[in-house]
Amino acid sequence: MRKYILLFVAALFLLIPFSPAAHAELNVNWVESGSVDVGDKLATFTIPDQLMYLNKEDTLKLQQEIGDTPTELEIGSIFPQNEDESWLVVVEYEDVGYITDEEKNDIDADAILDSYKEGTEENNKGRAPEDQLHVVGWDVPPFYDQPTHTLHWSMIGEDNSKNQLINYKAQMLTREGYVSFTLVTDPANLAKDKQVLMDKIIPNFTIKEGKRYEDFDESTDKVAEYGLTGLVLGGLFKWLTGRNKKNKLQEQQQENQNPQDPPPPASVG
């Protein structure tokens, strides 16, 4: 498959070397064609040519195998079949309730960016310089695609060594929450790999009847406590807490490590 996988955990950018040959004993089912059910009767995904899919259980198994910490919201993941490509899309689902899209024409990208910067710098006060992250600005400011009920945005960050970090989010609204597609790739390949997400993955991901955004019943269904702005701002909490969770995991691995063991994989962020 591929020599290295950029694995995204809780909106945190990490670079973790992963060799499938070294994990040949891992029993996961790579699905390379056909249609698969995703989530609990939530959606179907028709796998495009040259892509492959892991279900929820195998996604969690793969993350744990390479020493990552799942968010427990994962419902699947998508990869290229081409060994020369090194990107992935993690698919998550959160049933927070129906998120109104009334803000679709009034998303204040500047205010959201200021909140991200302020929150990140406040969090940096409790970190060593080498562990700090800084928000640079938008790669893609938040915008809402009405036909697919999907919110898109992409934030640029950097560490203290000026290594650039980018995540791309597409959050598809449903009757009871939202599906999150997180594209993890090298910044140099972001534009090309984003087209795969936009042209091949999202159009082939279909929310089932009864779970669709337009199936909302205001007389019976739960409504989320926030709208589109809150959905973007929620990424800040996941970024910061995800980073702390990963740091704690690495500290625990180091404490339990035998002197003859090789050091654990280093992360970018």
pLDDT in tens, 133-145: 899 999 999 999 9
Q: Which residues contact 141 (CB under 8 A, 6 or more apart)?
A: 107, 109, 153
CB 159 within 8 A of CB 143: no
Per DSSP, the three-state class of 115 is helix
Q: What is the number of alpha carbons within 13 Å of residue 173 lying toward its C-beta?
A: 28
264: left (phi over 0), alpha (psi -120 to 50) or beta: beta
**What span, in angstroms and rounded, lies between the C-alpha atoms of 92 and 79?**
15
pTM confidence score: 0.79
CB 17 within 8 A of CB 4: yes
At which residue do the structure tokens 């009334």 appear?
102
Q: What is the mean pLDDT of the chain?
A: 81
Gyration radius (Cα) of the chain, Å:
19
CB 62 within 8 A of CB 198: no
**Band of residue 38 on the pLDDT scale cut at 50, 70, 90:** very high
pLDDT in tens, 176-199: 999 999 998 888 899 999 999 999
CB 246 within 8 A of CB 267: yes
44: left (phi over 0), alpha (psi -120 to 50) or beta: beta
pLDDT in tens, 223-269: 999 999 999 988 555 544 444 433 443 444 445 444 444 333 333 33
CB 119 within 8 A of CB 236: yes
**What span, in angstroms and rounded, lies between the C-alpha atoms of 87 and 109?**
27
